[in-house]
Amino acid sequence: MKTLYIRMGTLLFCLAAYALHEARSAEAAEVTVVGFSQVGAESDWRQANTQSMRKAFSEAKGYKLIIKDAQQRQSRQLAAIHGFVDQKVGFIVVAPVTEDGWDEALQKAKEANIPVIIVDRKIKARSEDLYTCWVGSDFRKEGDEAVAWMEKNLKADKDLFIVHLQGSMGSSAQIGRTEALLAGEGRNPAWRVVARDSGAFTQAKGKEAMERILKQHTRIDVLYCENDDMALGAMEAMDEAGRSYGVKGDVAVISFDATRAGLTATLQGKINYNVECNPLHGPRVEEIVRRLKKGEVQEKYFYVPEAAFDAAFFTQSELDAREY
């Protein structure tokens, strides 16, 4: 009889152990692996964008997020995409550094039946079928917003001397914001762009570009700067050159991104007008992944909501209320 009890106990223990193993295996199987090819860490905007993705694709929510920082080099992004396919991830997210050159890598993901979500900047693919959907900003609209403010607030009764600091050349953020200024120049004969240079969206290169320009131009009325990091670098250069800027200065400063540092400068009156570029793509992309897992069809393009901030009206409480 005692032997029988021992055998029954052993059997029950084995059944319990098996059930536990199965439960853990099932739980492990539920982890969704997401490969994220990120441009880099060139700006506060980019850091906020990465943080938004980390928060949305957390382990607590059943994800394993693999982030590859390309340091603004497309070759590294293409290698990351190939690597994600080889790793057989469940989904690939790409924040493309520039618009061209993605077809071959996206074709490999398509052949492996891995959905690709493009975020932030846009790409020019030979077919829209090479990616599932896109989440990001309307960069031309951002630029038009800034140019409309210039037309309304910077009355050009005489020539308006403009310095244009562009972002990473070939990125849709740079293309859209530049197109808007070019269109504004076409509508306003009094506008004269006296210098145009790229600061690659970084503070260091924005400062270097502005230092070169300040040596060549004594009169500057407007700095049209395609992101906050370059604007902060340009401000350093103007400080060192003894040039005034902002609401009470000689040079009106227009910037993009509305990062915390950029909006702090706006609150201080150092930036006259700041057009938001919303980096918080994580929640929307995670919602898309959840829907795709359920086989739901996605809208191809999703534009994140964005605002603009005028130093004349922006308040500390507005700044305190912002997520990034």
Residue 324: how many CA atoms within 13 Å on its side-chain side?
A: 20
d(CA 12, CA 26): 21
- Least distance to ligand GZL, CB of residue 272, Å: 18
Q: Is 38 helix (H, G, I), strand (E, B) or coil?
A: strand
Where on the chain is the footprint of ligand GZL (CB under 6 A)?
42-43, 45-46, 120-121, 137, 171, 173, 201, 227, 229, 256-257, 277
- Please list the alpha-helical segments (H only) found in the chain: 2-29, 44-56, 74-86, 103-111, 139-153, 172-187, 203-216, 228-240, 260-267, 282-293, 316-320
For ligand GZL, the closer of residues 160 and 266 by Cβ is 266
Q: Both tokens of residue 100? A: 């061209």
For ligand GZL, the closer of residues 257 and 286 by Cβ is 257
- Least distance to ligand GZL, CB of residue 35, Å: 19
Burial of 9 (0-12, 13-18, 19+ CB in 10 A): exposed
Backbone angles phi, psi at 224, to 5 degrees: -100, 105
For ligand GZL, the closer of residues 142 and 221 by Cβ is 142
- Least distance to ligand GZL, CB of residue 154, Å: 22
For ligand GZL, the closer of residues 201 and 273 by Cβ is 201
For ligand GZL, the closer of residues 249 and 283 by Cβ is 283
- Least distance to ligand GZL, CB of residue 226, Å: 7
- Least distance to ligand GZL, CB of residue 42, Å: 5
